[in-house]
Chains A and B, each alone.
Chain A
């Protein structure tokens, strides 16, 4: 073996060691992140299987004697109603918002009418307005119309999401106009063009939008806290943090709260598993 080859071998060995080190480093980092990402989920599930007092005594470990008592107390406290409220509000809004955004997104891309560009620009410009800005005005005006503490106050204001309009339009811009024009030449009306041609084309973006809208509605907190916090319509997100002991009302009942958190997480996990691809593409949409 010549000296040069030996040197080459040593260098290759060095590269290999460095590659191995890099690999170990990568996996160590990923493992750390995975543990940190999953730990709160573990904590929620583990503590939901303990009684309220058991959580206080042993908040971090496995349940010594797993029990569903926290779940039954949660039901006894009427929290199933809150869960159903959340489901009603989030799913209704999602279906409506997807339909309405798709309709408008189509018109803003493929139909021509005076003022189209200006109206669209005006809508996009409002994307920076924080949700809290409209709350006082909305509250004062809609209190007079007796909308407070209803379902519609949680649903109707969110049926026209500007980001949804934006997503649909971005997607349709890449669809050639000739498809629409050809159908129009064949004598198809705008409605049948919309239903038979545009909606099928839009399917992936509508799935992504639906998932995003559901996630957003499921997470909404400040709006229902202000507008709809009575137990017959309030969503789970608003009622969960208020679960305290019945006598003094100051000690949080963590067993029940964690059981309720499982309820709050399950629908999102189901949506995630079912629509994983739409989920990720929805998240990365504004980026493309």
Chain B
């Protein structure tokens, strides 16, 4: 949509001045020389993209309808690979794991990041840039290194946490608990990122809006929920959608954290590990089917998030109107 607006705006000096005399049909057309330059400039990007991203994705789709063991020729398989995956109990366990990791970390991560942004922005806090740098710091630590640090923290029986508090919790071998360690790791890693995103979103809010509410006696919490949060709706949508999309492809953290001797127990493995596990056992067809099911899941989840935001967003806007109405009432009184 922005492209259309952009094209119209681009009725440029050259085209605008010279071609005004020409026919309208010619005006919208680029000259052949500039077209050629355009294609030349995008060629490296486009060719790399087609050969190394688009083609493998499409070839994976083809492969997912074939049996192929890495040697000989591939034989057609119809939907057998998909059928096999869906009848595989591990598939459903790992699907559930991926969804659990996503939901559990997101409902903690996003509100906490928002609250931290509010706190750092608030007038009663000094040294804002120092706090900002500290909270952002986890974002600049290597994911694998940090996951290994969590392994040292939560190892049992001799991990740092057990040692520090005199506990005997089997953090990484009792898988019901391990899931929560993964969630903690995801929150820890994502906090700095979303904190900075919310902080920059907050700067775009007119302070006068909040001051008006403050004069009317709206408390900090009330202002945050009824005024600031609805104004930040788009930032929340962005955060939830991007976080959901990246969560579907989650792989590194649970794998590095909980695998023993390179093998990850399916009860903590994310869905994406089906791609890797099948590939490593040379079941390329099933690996490919798993890859496309993962893509399908990503699409479904993003649509669901968009849809629920539309519902939620409407009720949020309604609440805001009530508050503003209340403010008017308070002023007139």
A binds B: yes
Binding site for B on A (CB under 8 A): 19, 22-23, 26-27, 29-30, 33-34, 36-41, 43-44, 47, 55-60, 100-101, 103-104, 106-109, 111-114, 116-117, 119-121, 123, 126, 128-141, 143, 156-157, 159-160, 162, 165, 173, 177-178, 181-182, 184-185, 190, 194, 215, 218-219, 221-222, 225-226, 236-237, 240-242, 244, 249-250, 252, 254, 257-258, 260-262, 264-265, 268-269, 271-272, 276, 279-280, 283-284, 286-288
> Is B200 touching A287 in the complex (CB atoms < 8 A)?
yes
Known: A30-B120, A44-B148, A236-B144; 7 extra A-B contacts, CB below 8 A, are A23-B125, A37-B134, A106-B41, A130-B295, A134-B53, A181-B14, A221-B143
Tell me if A58 and B163 are in contact (CB < 8 A).
yes
B317 CB within 8 Å of chain A: no
When the two chains form their complex, are residues B49 and A33 in contact, meaning their CB atoms are under 8 A apart? no
Stretch from B5-13, B82-90, B173-181, B321-329 at the A interface: B5-13
Asked, given contacts A56-B158, A59-B159, A133-B291, whether A120 binds B58 with beta carbons under 8 Å apart, the answer is: no
Question: A residues within 8 A CB of B279?
Answer: 135-136, 139, 226
The 8 Å CB contact of B272, one of A130, A159, A262, is: A130
**Chain B residues within an 8 Å CB radius of A181:** 12-14
Judge whether B240 is part of the interface by a CB distance below 8 angstroms.
no
Q: Does B225 contact A (CB under 8 A)?
A: no
For A219, what are the chain B residues with a Cβ–Cβ distance below 8 Å? 142-144, 252
Question: In the bound complex, how far is the Cα of B136 from the Cα of A159, in angstroms?
Answer: 27
Give CA–CA (A129, B292) in the complex, Å.
9
8 smallest CB-CB distances across A and B, nearest first, come from A137-B59, A113-B38, A107-B41, A137-B60, A112-B30, A104-B45, A261-B145, A130-B249
Task: Say yes or no: B291 contacts A132, CB within 8 Å.
Answer: yes
B116 contacts across to A, CB distance below 8 A: 29-30, 33
Whether A268 and B12, one on each chain, are in contact in the complex, defined by CB atoms closer than 8 angstroms, is no
**Stretch in B100-108, B205-213, B254-262, B307-315 with 4+ CB within 8 Å of A:** B254-262
Asked whether, in the complex, the Cβ of B56 is within 8 Å of the Cβ of A242, the reply is no
Sample (27) of A-B pairs whose CB atoms are under 8 Å apart: A29-B116, A37-B192, A41-B141, A55-B152, A60-B161, A106-B41, A107-B38, A107-B39, A111-B37, A111-B38, A113-B38, A117-B4, A119-B42, A126-B54, A130-B272, A136-B278, A140-B68, A190-B41, A225-B276, A226-B279, A241-B256, A244-B261, A260-B145, A268-B141, A279-B136, A287-B200, A287-B238
The minimal Cβ–Cβ distance linking B265 to chain A, given in whole angstroms, is 15
Query: A249–B252 Cα gap in the complex (Å)?
Result: 21
With CB as the reference atom, state the residue of chain A lying closest to B44: A100
Q: Please report the C-alpha to C-alpha distance between residue A271 and residue B140 in the assembled complex, in whole angstroms.
A: 9
Q: A30 to B125, Cβ gap below 8 A?
A: yes
Contact indicator A157/B53 (Cβ below 8 Å): yes
Q: Determine the main DSSP class of B at the interface with A.
A: helix
Contacts of B144 in A (CB 8 A): 219, 221, 236-237, 240-241, 261, 264
A221 touches B256 (CB 8 A): yes
A137 — which chain B residues lie within 8 A by C-beta? 55-63, 288, 291
Would you call A34 and B135 a contact (CB within 8 A)?
yes
A108 vs B45: C-alpha distance when bound (angstroms): 11
Chain B residues numbered 49-80 whose CB sits less than 8 Å from any CB in chain A: 49, 52-64, 68, 70
B304 at the A interface (CB under 8 A): no
Q: Name B276's contact: one of A112, A132, A279, A288 (CB within 8 Å).
A: A132
Say yes or no: A156-B48 contact (C-beta < 8 A), given A114-B35, A130-B248.
Answer: yes
CB distance from B330 to the nearest CB of A (A): 18
Q: Are B59 and A140 in contact (CB under 8 A)?
A: yes
**Given A132-B251, A133-B57, A258-B149, are A283 and B45 also a contact pair (CB < 8 Å)?**
no
State which of A56, A138, A283 has its C-beta within 8 Å of the C-beta of B139: A283
Could you tell me the distance between the alpha carbons of A128 and B246 in the complex, rounded to whole angstroms?
A: 9
Least CB distance from A240 to B in Å reads 6
User: Which of B39, B48, B63, B248 sits near A113, CB closer than 8 Å?
Assistant: B39
Q: Is the CB of B42 within 8 A of A138?
A: no
A189 to chain B: closest residue by CB:
B37
Residues in A neighbouring B120, C-beta threshold 8 A: 30
Chain B 190-218 against A: per-residue CB contact (8 Å), 1 yes, 0 no? 01110011001100000000000000000
CB contacts (< 8 Å) of A23 on chain B: these are 124-125
When the two chains form the complex, which single residue of B53, B138, B143 contacts A37, counting CB atoms closer than 8 Å? B138
Q: Are B148 and A265 in contact (CB under 8 A)?
A: no
A265 touches B134 (CB 8 A): no
Residue on B nearest A60 in the bound complex, by CB? B160
Asked if B155 is an interface residue, CB under 8 A from chain A, the answer is yes
For residue A141, which residue of chain B has the nearest CB?
B59
- Is B114 an interface position by the 8 A CB rule? no
A112 in contact with B34 (CB, 8 Å): yes
Contacts of B255 in A (CB 8 A): 221
Is B302 interfacial (CB-CB < 8 Å)? Answer: yes
Judge whether B122 and A26 touch: CB under 8 Å. Answer: yes
Q: Cβ of A114: which chain B residues have Cβ within 8 Å of it?
A: 30, 35
